[in-house]
Amino acid sequence: MKRILEQEIAKEQSCIEDLLVRITIHTKRGDYSLASERGKDMQKSIKKIEHLKQQQENNRNFASIIERLAGKGILIEAVKRVEN
């Protein structure tokens, strides 16, 4: 899961870089409508990165909790049973 999130973040970062280039081109050409649309696309990518980064943090926190429980001798299967 960690690798998938990292790949998704990298994909969105690459997309943002491409969109910045397109915004610059459209602005230089005076096509502000297209520049604005690409700006909106960039905002969507930024929001997606923020969401993915939050998922990463949640996963790290979850892994930390599992490690602490395991360190105390609590089996993960027991935690799953209590959850259900």
**pLDDT (tens digit per residue) in 2-58:** 899 999 999 999 999 999 999 999 999 999 999 999 999 999 999 999 999 999 999
Confidence of residue 65 (pLDDT cuts 50, 70, 90): confident
Question: What would the 3-class secondary structure string for 48-83 be?
Answer: HHHHHHHHHHHHHHHHHHHHHHHHCCCCHHHHHHHH
pLDDT surpasses 70 at 62: yes
Q: Residue-wise over 57-66: b if at least 16 C-beta within 10 A, else e?
A: eeeeeeeeee
The amino acid that residue 81 corresponds to is: R
Q: In sequence order, what are the residues at sequence separation of 6 or more whose Cβ sits closer than 8 angstroms to the Cβ of residue 2? A: 56, 59
pLDDT surpasses 60 at 81: no
pLDDT score, position 51: 98
